[in-house]
Chains A and B, each alone.
Chain A
C-alpha cells in the first residue's frame, strides 16, 4: 500500500482579504511526482508554502507523513529539524533563496542550520556542486550569477540535504530554453527514485516529463485531477482554467488565424 506523504483536507488560507486557498483537498502519495497546474493566482504557490510549513492553514487539516503541520508542531526542535531535512522547497525567484556571500556558503547554509559535522558539510557541498556542474562558481557571489546559474545554485542548496520530498515552484520560470531543458531533464530523472516531487507550474509542455499525476487549480480549489495525459486531453478544462492560449499562426496555404491549442499537438 502506498504511503501518503501529504494529506490536505478542506484547507483555507487568505492573504488579508484575498482568499488564496478555499477548501482545498488533495493527497500526495509517497514517491510520486505530482504537478499542481493552474493559472497565476490560482493558489499553487500558496499551497507549496503550506506544504513546507512556512504558512499555516486558517482552517482545515494538513498532514505530513501522518503528522499535523501546525505552528505548534514546528516549535518542537526535533520535529522541525527532521521535517527540514526531509522536505526541500525551491522558490520561483532564486534571488530570495540566495542570500549568502558566496555560492559555497549558500549551499552550506542548510546543513549548517541542521548542525551537520563540518567535514560532512564540506564533503556534501563539494559533491553536489560537482554533480550540478557548478563547482567553478563556488567562490562567486550569488548576486552576480546568470539566471540559469542562480537556479542551479538554488537547486544545489536544496538538494545538498538530500530531501525525500521536493517542492518546486515554477522551476523553469524565466530560464532560457537550454536551462529549461536541463531543469526538466533533472526532474525527469527523479522518476522511480522514491523521491516525492510536487511541482507548481502552468507550463503544459513539460507536464508529461515532470509528473505522474496532476491536480488542476482554479481560484484556490482543486477543479480536477488525473494523469498528465487525461488532463492534457481535456481541452475544455484547460481552456476554463486559463492553461490554453490562443495562438496566431500562418498555415502553408497562407491562411492566418488563431485558436486555442497545446504545443505538444503540433
Chain B
C-alpha cells in the first residue's frame, strides 16, 4: 500500500473481497457433502450449531463443535487454507483485541505474571478469553461453511422459505449485486486518478481527494444501482426471489436435518454449566 494511502489500500481490499466472492461461487458448485444438501437443511443446521457454540459453557463442547466444522469442511472439499485466511485469522484478530485485556483485567487466581511488566495473568481471565475466541471462531467457521457451500441466490431463497421478510431478502441480494459494481467503479476511478498524479500528495490533498472521490463514487453507484434495478424489472422481477434449482427434501436431506438438529441439541445439553 505505502504511498497510495489508506483509501487505495481499502479499494485493493475490496478487490480481494470480490475475488473471494467469485471464488465462493466456484466452491459452492463443487461436489461435496454440504453442497449436496438442501439449502434449508444447511441454514437450519448451521443456525442450530452456531446457537449451541455461542451458548455452551464448556470448552470441550465448543472444541467438539469446532472439530465438527472442520470435518464438514473437509467432506465439502473446502480447503483448510481458505478457512485459515478468510475466517480464523480475521476472527482471531478482532476477538483477540477484545479478549486480550480480559486476560489481565479479570479478577481471579493468579496463573502467571508477565516478565518485566509484571502484569498478572489470571485463570479466570484466560478462561474468559478462551471462551470468547473459541465461540467466535466456531460460529464464524460454521457460518463461512454455509456461505462457501451454497450459491448466494440459494441462501436468499432459503431465507424466504424460512419466512424472513421479503424486503430484507431483496436488500441482501441488492447489496451483493451492487457492491460488485461499486468495486469496479472505484477501481477505475482510482486507476484513472493515479495515471494523472505526479509525485506525492500531502495528507490534506489526499483527504480532499478522498472526500470528493467518495462523493463521485456514491453518485455513480446510485445511478448504476438504479439501472440494475430497472434491468431486473425489465425481465419480470417484482420483488420475489426465484432460483432454478428446486429444493428437494428427499430422505437423505431429512436424515441430515435430523442429525444436525440432534447434534445441535446434544451440544446445547452437554454445554450446560
Task: State the A residues within 8 Å of B (CB).
Answer: 49, 52, 54, 77, 80-81, 84-85, 88-89, 91, 93, 95-97, 99-102, 105, 108-110, 112-115, 118, 121-122, 139, 141, 143-144, 157-158, 161
Contacts and interface: CB of A to CB of B under 8 A. Distances in A.
B227 interface: yes
Nearest to A97: B231
A96 B224 contact: yes
A188 B30 CA distance: 41
A81 B180 CA distance: 29
The 6 closest A-B pairs by CB, nearest first: A113-B236, A110-B235, A96-B227, A84-B236, A112-B242, A99-B177
Given A102-B25, A141-B22, A88 B234 contact: yes
A113 B231 contact: no
A100 B237 CA distance: 13
Interface residues of B, number: 27
Most buried by B among A81, A100, A115, A144: A100
B153 A99 contact: no
Contacts of A85: 236
B250 interface: no
B59 interface: no
Contact of A80 (B224, B232, B238): B238
A84 B224 CA distance: 22
Contact of A121 (B151, B234, B244): B244
Contact of B234 (A54, A100, A105, A139): A54
Given A54-B230, A93-B227, A96-B228, 6 more contacts: A52-B234, A84-B236, A96-B227, A105-B151, A109-B232, A109-B237
B202 interface: no
B224 to A, nearest CB: 6
A173 to B, nearest CB: 14
B258 interface: no
B74 interface: no
Nearest to B29: A139
Interface in B208-247: 224, 227-228, 230-238, 242-244, 246
Interface of B: 18, 22, 25, 29, 151-153, 177, 180-181, 184, 224, 227-228, 230-238, 242-244, 246
A143 B185 CA distance: 13
Contact of B236 (A100, A102, A114): A114
A109 B227 contact: no
Nearest to B242: A112
Contacts of A112: 242-244
Contacts of A101: 25, 151-153
Contacts of A88: 234-235
Nearest to B226: A96
Given A113-B236, A144-B22, A95 B153 contact: no
Given A105-B153, A141-B22, A84 B234 contact: yes
Most buried by A among B18, B22, B231: B231
24 contacts: A49-B230, A54-B230, A84-B234, A84-B236, A91-B231, A95-B181, A96-B230, A96-B231, A99-B177, A100-B153, A101-B151, A101-B152, A102-B25, A105-B151, A105-B153, A108-B244, A112-B244, A118-B244, A121-B244, A122-B244, A143-B18, A143-B22, A143-B180, A143-B184
